[in-house]
Structure formats: C-alpha cells, structure tokens
DNA sequence: ACGAGCATTGACAACGCTAACATTATTAAA
DNA sequence: TTTAATAATGTTAGCGTTGTCAATGCTCGT
C-alpha cells in the first residue's frame, strides 16, 4: 500500500538499513546522504510500518481496554474511566484499543479490564499470567483498582446524620454485585456506629434507573411518611426520587433530604443540585493506567489492590437543621 | 514472550506450516495429526501473534478513531458516536484504536475522524489519499457524514411556531464553527418562511454551557419580557435557561417555551422534560462505520457527504396553545 | 609508511506468520 | 502395471523493519 524501505532503497540507491538510519539514527549518516534520503522520504511520503516495527521490537504501544458484555459502552462510568486512562496513556505514547472480545487482539502491551463478570474470571487469570493487566474491581489474583464503596456510603450516611435528619432510608440496587452489597454495608455500619436503628421498611432495593427510583420513592414515601432523608445507591435513582418528591409536593431538602451516589455530572443538571458521593472515575482511569505502565516497565505481574476513596459532594438536596 | 509456531513445531515434531494449518485449514490435516497438534496448542497455551499475521495479510483489523485536540474525550457527543461505531465495527471483527495523535499508529485499516479543526485539514487530505477515511463533519475532499443542522433548527423553530409562540428568541453558540452558523441559519430561514420578523435583540450568542445559558437567559428575559419562547443551540444551554426561568418565577412551558438541541439524554433528566432536537449520534456512529467498511472492502476512497436528519423530540417545555 | 581509530555504509539474519510451490506416499483409473 | 489424481506434509521465500557484525575508506600520530 504505502512506500516501503525497500522501494525507497531502490529509488535512492542506498541500502534499506541506511534509509532506516536516516530516521532512527540520523547522526550516523553523512550530512549529504542524510539530506538526500530525508528529501526522498518527504517526496515519496514514506511512513514507517509500525506493524513491522512491532514485530521487531516485540511491543505495540497499544493497551487493550476490555469492556465486559454486561457493561454498556454508553455507560457514563465506563466512558469517563476510559477518558481518564486514555489521556494518561496518550501522554505516554500509548494508544488504546477498545474491544469487547478477549482474544481478538492479544498483541498488545497490556490490558485494562473494566469490571469482571463471572464467566470471564478464568480467562482473566489465564491472561494475567502472560500479560501485564490491571482490573477495575477486585480480585485476589490480579492487580486492581477499586472504589471503597463501604466508605462511600458511610460518608453519605454520616452526612445525613450530621445534617440532622432523623429517619434515614436507603434505596439500594437490586443486582447481585459486590459494590451494591458494599454500599448497603456502608449505610448499615454508619447507622450502627451512630446508634441509629435500621427500620427494615426503610430499606428498599430496586433497579438502577430513574424510573425505578421514581416508583420506589413514591411507594416508600407514601407508606412511611416519617422518612425525612433518602440515600440512594446511584444518581439516576436519586433523580427519580426528586421527581417523586416534586410530584408529591414534598419539599427537598427541608422536608426530605436526598443523597445520590456516583457524581458523574448528572448531579449538576438537576434542580436543586443533588448532594452526592462523587467517585473520581477520571482519576481512577489515570490510576489504572499508571499502575499498568509501571507493571509493564518493571515486567511485573502484580496482584495488589489499590483502593480509591470516594468523596462527599454537597449539593442543595440536603441542609443542616 | 508467548509460545510460537516455531517452538510448537519443535515440541510436536511437525513443521511450522502444519501447526499453522491446524488452526487455519484444519481439514487439510490428517485427523490424528490435527488432534495431536490441537492438544499441544491447548497444553502450551499457544496464541497466534496477530502482529506477524498483520504483516503477512497487510491488514490489522483495527480502525483508528481520531478525536481532535479541541474535542474533550469526555464529551457526550464524541462518546456516543464512538459507542455507535464501536458496536458496528466490533460486530464486524474490527477493533477501534482511539488516539489524539495522527501518526502514532498509521497501521490501521481505516480512519474515522471526529470533526475537523483547521490545522488538521492538510493532514486529513494527505491521509485520505492513502487510507480509507470517513469524516464526521463536512469536507469536499473526503467521505463524510454530517448532521443537517439547518434542518434541525428549522424543525425547532417550526415547532415553536406551530405551538403558537409569538416572540421566539434564539440563543446561539459563540464559536466559529460551521454547525453554529448552520443552526442560526435554520432559525432564520424558518422564521422568514413563516413571515416572522427577527428582532435583533432576541438573538444572543454565548458559550455552550449551562451557566452561560443561565446568565444569558436571565439578562435576555429581563430586558425583553415580551419573549415567550427561547430556542437554544444546545441542551446544556437550555438547562441553564430553565433554571433562570425557575429563578425568575417564569412558568415553563405556559409563559415561556424552551427548546434545546442535542438530545443526548440530558433532556430526560431535567424537570419538566425538555423539548429538544435529537441528533441520532449513536446511529451516526454506525453510519460512519458502515461507510468506512464499505470503502475498505471496495478499496474505494470516497468523497461523498451523507447528511443525517435530526428529529424533533417533544418534551414538556413547549405546549400547544 | 603503517596500523589504530573513526566515519560511513552495507550484508545478513531475525521477529512470527502464511502463500505458493515442492515433495512424498497413497489410491484410483486406464 | 503404469499413470494420473489425491492426500498429507514440508521447503522456501517473503511481509517491513531493525540489531549485529562486517567492510570500506579515511585521518592521524608515530
């Protein structure tokens, strides 16, 4: 397709290796030779073939970002992580290859895996033996970065308590994943350590979307009008809760406090601005990339988990009182 | 690093090509041979080296998605297009390589370029001569997919007129890009063809974000209280407008109609739900990918522009009256 | 004048794979 | 039985690049 060293060699009369040197070690060549060759390179629009280079160097400068099937690629979460790691990797001369298939492009210098579904576990371990790999999530056998979800929900709950809310309910995600359980644990721990009893009727699990949040909140607030604060396991759900409150003419934040979880930008769009637990996903992306590049450099196959702390991001759906 | 054909050849006693055939043309091998080799492949965890394959086949099955510097990778727009084209390319056995650098990985089978900044134009034309390439945007020399922004804003304006709004103002994006101008043209054309005069004081250009929208709307509605509909060049701006209206106790949609532009999901989060012009960006991503793969297949270097129509997506910020 | 050292260029092999052709053994057809 | 087709495997070369070593010519100090 394109111009090659061989062709250029025939055109200029110099050997292939000399042309190669004009690019990689120009100081080795005689000034005249160098100039002639560089001129020819320009004239014939020669572009080195990175595939051939990769074969020689045994590295591609490509990092594979694997997004499991059960995560939508449109997912805000995934996208922002990808943006973060993409920026770091880009600055360091790497490109990112995104694909849903494990083995389609195994010839990459490393992998970043976005969360783990069960059927992938075996392959993950398999692959981790051969290639530098960092997982967003938690697994004992590989290097990981994870968010401390227990801490996150603890922060949310303590914020609610500090604000002075008395009947703090919890809206969880009905999905069999570790992070959903962790968030619930954070809520329970914080409640317990502040001497608050948990009313079972104040804990509801539902699907993670606005509509489910709306419906769950409507039912919950109708049945338990004593509730004066609702902590949600996601911002999407929290938005639904706010819509329900508006519909039921419940004043947020005075009559009802609302706290979300994620902090990916949605919290700024709604009115009033949503108090939420911000997960620094962009930064986590960078962290994933940093760890990966370090492991590549040291030819190391790590298995440490690095926990990342979410932070409370106060909005206007909670007030001190 | 990994197991190679050569190593496997020594282990099994068969020649390299025979091992290769066990994978690519298993029917050519004797049953016993095939089974022995496949067993060895499994045992020694052989994975073919795609870099070497790419060198032979002269194709990588990788598509480069180039996102210009001036577009944030976190940008909803970019992300959803990428998600769309990624899904289509993925289904067709391609992976996508995302990078901000033009020449970092030229060894890809094709390029998708997300919008064009001026300093890139020369490189774009240069590259388009050598590689299949599709541009999201508009340029006479290369194959393009673009949104019909004039049509989009025409739809918005006509919707406002049909609803019965009388003083329809326009909030534009102060940026020297073609699409901003096109949207303004769409507004003007529609107004003109319906015999509506445009009051210059009813047209304001500002930055494309919620806060700017808020401030612009506040000033505009204060100065020109006769305005009863405000068409915005983006949903972010429209959200700001809605916040301003709320602050000023202006009833949306009865006293003031609000129309946004983009329809990327934001419109569903706000309350009331925002009437907007939806740009089918996910579908556009798929279209970009389709055209690219077709051009790759036909070894064709096209230069046709395919226009994509945005659609009106009615919400609750406009009413018929 | 003579080898040591340097500047400049080239030949060859290798990276891992596959296409094209070549070889051998086996079987069917004449 | 001889010939031709077929099955099963191997040999060689090449994809485009670079590392290693070799070769040539030159300068310089003695």
pLDDT in tens, A96-129: 988 777 766 668 999 999 887 777 888 888 888 8
Pairwise CB contact (< 8 Å): A99 & B103: no
Q: What is the pLDDT of residue A103?
A: 63
Q: What is the pLDDT of residue B17?
A: 96
Q: What is the pLDDT of residue A172?
A: 97
Contacts with B181 (C-beta within 8 Å, 6 or more apart), sequence order: none
The phi, psi pair for B226, rounded to 5°, reads -75, -15
Q: What is the pLDDT of residue B163?
A: 97
Give the residue from B233, B170, B230 showing the smallest Cα distance to B204: B170
Average pLDDT over residues A256-260: 97
Contacts with A131 (C-beta within 8 Å, 6 or more apart), sequence order: A106, A108, A109, A110, A111
Higher pLDDT, A17 or B125: A17
For an interface test with A, the pick among B51, B258, B274 (most A C-beta atoms closer than 10 Å) comes out as B51
Q: What is the pLDDT of residue B313?
A: 95
> Which nucleotide's C1' atom has the smallest distance to the CA of A58?
C15
Q: Which of A232-246, A261-275, B22-36 has the lowest mean pLDDT?
A: A261-275
Give the residue from A297, A302, A298, A241 showing the smallest Cα distance to A272: A241
Cβ–Cβ under 8 Å, residues A72 and A236: no
Cβ–Cβ under 8 Å, residues A77 and A262: yes
Q: Show which of residues 289-318 on chain A sit within 8 Å of chain B, judged by CB atoms.
A: none
3-state secondary structure of A311: strand
Residue of B105, B242, B269 with shortest CB distance to A95: B105
Q: Show which of residues 54-113 on chain B sit within 8 Å of chain A, judged by CB atoms.
A: 54-55, 58, 60-62, 72-74, 79-80, 82-83, 86-87, 90, 93, 95-101, 103-107
- Pick out chain B residues at pLDDT < 70: 1, 71-74, 103-106
Q: What is the pLDDT of residue B104?
A: 62
Contacts with A305 (C-beta within 8 Å, 6 or more apart), sequence order: A138, A143, A144, A145, A146
How does the average pLDDT of chain A come out, rounded? 91
Give the residue from B67, B105, B104, B62 showing the smallest Cα distance to B86: B62
Q: What is the pLDDT of residue A1?
A: 61
Contacts with B239 (C-beta within 8 Å, 6 or more apart), sequence order: A269, B210, B213, B260, B266, B270, B274
Q: Which nucleotides of C are covered by protein (CB under 7 A)?
A: 7-12, 14-20
Long-range CB pairs of A75-79 (<8 Å, 24+ gap) are A76/A262, A76/A264, A76/A265, A76/A266, A77/A262, A77/A264, A77/A281, A78/A114, A79/B74, A79/B79, A79/B83
Calculated CA dihedral for residues B309, B314, B317, B321, nearest 10 degrees: 110
3-state secondary structure of A62: strand
**Strand B305-308 vs strand A229-232: parallel, antiparallel, or unpaired?**
unpaired
Higher pLDDT, A143 or A298: A143
Give the residue from A139, A138, A213, A125 showing the smallest Cα distance to A179: A138
Give dist(CA A128, CA A62) in Å, integer. Answer: 17
Alpha-carbon dihedral sign for residues A267, A85, B90, B81: positive
pTM, full prediction: 0.85
Pairwise CB contact (< 8 Å): B95 & A98: yes
Q: What angle separates helix B31-43 from helix B16-24, to the nearest 10 degrees?
A: 90
Q: What is the pLDDT of residue A52?
A: 96
User: Shortest Cα distance from B197 to chain A (angstroms)?
Assistant: 34
Cβ–Cβ under 8 Å, residues A116 and A136: no
DSSP class of residue A274? P
Q: What is the pLDDT of residue A104?
A: 62
DSSP class of residue B64? E
Q: How many CB atoms lie within 10 A of CB B176?
A: 8
Q: Is B270 on the interface with A (CB under 8 A)?
A: yes
Q: Tally DSSP H helices, then E strands, for chain A.
A: 12, 12
Q: What is the pLDDT of residue B303?
A: 78
Alpha-carbon radius of gyration of chain A: 27
Give dist(CA B243, CA B250) in Å, integer. Answer: 10
Minimum CA–CA partner of A80 in chain B? B74
Q: What is the pLDDT of residue A128?
A: 87
């Amino acid at each position: 397709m394109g111009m090659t060293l061989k062709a250029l060699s025939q055109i200029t009369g110099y050997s292939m290796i000399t042309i190669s040197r004009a690019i990689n070690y120009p100081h080795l060549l005689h000034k005249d030779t160098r100039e002639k060759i560089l001129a020819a390179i320009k004239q014939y629009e020669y572009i080195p073939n990175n595939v051939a280079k990769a074969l020689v160097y045994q590295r591609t400068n490509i990092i594979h970002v694997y997004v499991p099937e059960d995560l939508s690629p449109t997912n805000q979460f995934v996208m922002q992580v990808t943006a973060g790691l993409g920026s770091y990797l880009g600055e360091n001369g790497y490109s990112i290859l995104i694909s849903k298939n494990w083995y389609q492009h195994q010839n990459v210098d490393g992998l970043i895996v976005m969360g783990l579904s069960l059927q992938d576990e075996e392959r993950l371990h398999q692959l981790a033996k051969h290639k530098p790999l960092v997982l967003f999530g938690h697994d004992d056998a590989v290097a990981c970065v994870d968010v401390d979800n227990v801490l996150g929900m603890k922060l949310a709950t303590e914020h609610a308590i500090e604000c002075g809310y008395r009947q703090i309910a919890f809206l969880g995600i009905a999905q069999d994943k570790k992070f959903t359980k962790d968030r619930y644990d954070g809520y329970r721990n914080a409640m317990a350590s502040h001497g608050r009893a948990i009313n079972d009727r104040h804990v509801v699990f539902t699907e993670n979307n606005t509509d489910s949040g709306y419906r769950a909140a409507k039912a919950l607030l109708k049945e338990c009008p004593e509730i004066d604060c609702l902590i949600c396991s996601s911002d999407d759900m929290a938005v639904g809760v706010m819509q329900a409150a508006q519909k039921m003419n419940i004043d947020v934040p005075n009559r009802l406090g609302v706290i979300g979880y994620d902090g990916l930008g949605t919290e700024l769009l709604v009115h009033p601005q949503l108090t939420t637990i911000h997960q620094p996903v962009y930064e986590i992306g960078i962290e994933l990339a940093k760890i990966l590049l370090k492991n590549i450099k040291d030819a190391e196959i790590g298995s440490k988990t690095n926990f990342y702390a979410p932070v409370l991001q106060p909005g206007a759906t909670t007030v001190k009182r």
